[in-house]
């Protein structure tokens, strides 16, 4: 009986590490997770993860054979196979995770950051199938980005290309402080946290009534602001407009850098659809250099939020020989 080839897609997050067995068409044949935060030592974590992967693979009904392991993780470096100085994971400094993983298997192990994995996932399984030049922007607690140029994901000299979340949208010393220690980064405006920060600023400057005025910064989240905006709350709508506007300005620059066919938005904020897409489109178009106007598609990701991380990580293996 012929065995079905699967790649293991592994998404390492601060709380959970989720993995799935993905065939070349993007079907997930089985999925499991372990608690990342339980493991202070990377060697112990990798051993536990590998054991759980083997155990789970035995429960899958299809007769499978694993062809490789793709890993998406914050600060994942594909050139070196390392996770470097992640603020959210339990392991400090430079962690040689591909080498440690390699002690358990001779199969290929590829690691990159989660936004790059999302971009490869969009190319292999999502809306960017057949495209050679596109950008994926992931909008979560922060803002990540992956650039595909001439059909290849751009990694850069040190493996960290495409960090537009930490390019300045408002340069200057009096601007919003970012978690990276700098000021005025795009991520401080265009992310779930940025949306909250803008909401409070708009609230402070406006006399308009809003049900959100009762809530503290800790109580607010993007979903609450979204629900208020849908019900017509002026302040909530303004917060989305402002967020989309800042994104649109930056995307006009992004287009000038790489001349993409499309830009895909992925993640929680992208689910707000028109609230974020309309202003982003408008301000991108207004600020584009003439030669690009009307030519760049701004699209929602075609990967579901639930599966994207595992699909994206597995696609690192499936795209290996392309």
User: Per CB under 5 A, does 168 bind Zn ion?
Assistant: no
Segment interacting with Zn ion, rule: CB under 5 A, options 15-23, 95-103, 158-166, 261-269: 158-166
User: Per CB under 5 A, does 246 bind Zn ion?
Assistant: no
Minimum distance from CB of 172 to Zn ion (Å)? 14
Chain-centre distance of CA 156, in angstroms? 18
User: Per CB under 5 A, does 148 bind Zn ion?
Assistant: no
Minimum distance from CB of 178 to Zn ion (Å)? 3
> Residue for token digits 């406006």?
206
Q: Binding mask 68-97 vs Zn ion (x if CB under 5 A, - otherwise)? A: ------------------------------
Minimum distance from CB of 15 to Zn ion (Å)? 23
DSSP output for 92-151: -SEE-HHHHHHTT-SS-EEEE-HHHHHHHHHHHHSTTTT-SSEEEEEESSSEEEEEEETT
HSE-CB of 11 using CA atoms within 13 angstroms: 26
Between residues 152 and 182, which has the closer beta carbon with respect to Zn ion? Answer: 182
Helices 222-230 + 192-205 axis angle, to 10: 60
Question: By the 8 A CB rule, do 186 and 167 touch?
Answer: yes
From candidates 52, 104, 166, 170, binder to Zn ion by CB under 5 A: 166
Minimum distance from CB of 230 to Zn ion (Å)? 30
Number of residues that bind Zn ion (CB under 5 A): 5
Segment interacting with Zn ion, rule: CB under 5 A, options 62-70, 103-111, 160-168, 194-202: 160-168
Minimum distance from CB of 115 to Zn ion (Å)? 14
Minimum distance from CB of 243 to Zn ion (Å)? 16
Of residues 175-234, which lie at the interface with Zn ion (CB under 5 A)? 178, 180, 182, 185
- The arrangement of strands across the sheet holding 109-112 comes to 28-35, 16-22, 4-12, 64-72, 109-112
Minimum distance from CB of 166 to Zn ion (Å)? 4
In whole angstroms, give the CA distance from residue 223 to residue 79. 37
Between residues 156 and 209, which has the closer beta carbon with respect to Zn ion? Answer: 156
Between residues 81 and 194, which has the closer beta carbon with respect to Zn ion? Answer: 194
> Residue for token digits 């696609």?
315
Which helix (H) or strand (E) element contains residue 298?
strand 297-300
> Buried (b) or exposed (e) across 45-66, using 16+ Cβ within 10 A?
bbbebbeebeebbeeeeeebeb
Residues forming contacts to Zn ion in the complex (CB under 5 A) are 166, 178, 180, 182, 185
């Amino acid at each position: 009986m012929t065995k079905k080839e699967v790649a293991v897609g592994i998404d390492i997050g601060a709380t959970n590490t989720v993995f799935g067995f993905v065939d070349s068409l993007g079907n997930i044949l089985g999925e499991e997770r372990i608690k990342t935060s339980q493991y202070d030592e990377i060697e112990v974590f990798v051993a536990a993860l590998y054991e759980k992967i083997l155990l789970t693979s035995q429960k899958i009904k299809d007769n499978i054979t694993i062809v490789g392991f793709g890993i998406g993780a914050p600060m994942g470096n594909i050139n070196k196979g390392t996770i470097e100085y992640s603020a959210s994971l339990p392991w400090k400094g430079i962690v040689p995770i591909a080498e440690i993983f390699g002690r358990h298997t001779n199969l290929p192990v590829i690691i990159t950051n989660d936004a790059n994995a999302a971009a490869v996932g969009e190319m292999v399984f999502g809306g960017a199938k057949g495209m050679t030049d596109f950008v994926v922007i992931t909008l979560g607690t922060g803002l990540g980005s992956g650039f595909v140029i001439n059909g290849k994901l751009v990694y850069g000299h040190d493996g960290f290309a495409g960090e537009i979340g930490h390019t300045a949208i408002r340069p200057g010393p009096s601007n919003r402080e970012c978690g990276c220690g700098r000021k005025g980064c795009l991520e401080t405006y265009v992310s779930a946290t940025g949306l909250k920060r803008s909401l409070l600023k708009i609230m402070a400057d406006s006399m308009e009534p809003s049900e959100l005025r009762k809530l503290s910064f800790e109580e607010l989240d993007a979903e609450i602001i979204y629900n208020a905006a849908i019900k017509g709350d002026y302040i909530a709508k303004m917060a989305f407009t402002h967020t989309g506007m800042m994104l649109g300005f930056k995307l006009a620059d992004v287009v000038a850098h790489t001349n993409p066919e499309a830009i895909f938005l992925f993640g929680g904020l992208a689910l707000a659809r028109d609230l974020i897409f309309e202003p982003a489109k408008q301000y991108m178009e207004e600020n584009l250099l003439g030669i690009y106007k009307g030519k760049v598609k701004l699209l929602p990701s075609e990967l579901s939020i639930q599966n994207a991380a595992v699909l994206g990580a597995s696609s690192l293996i499936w795209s290996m020989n392309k």
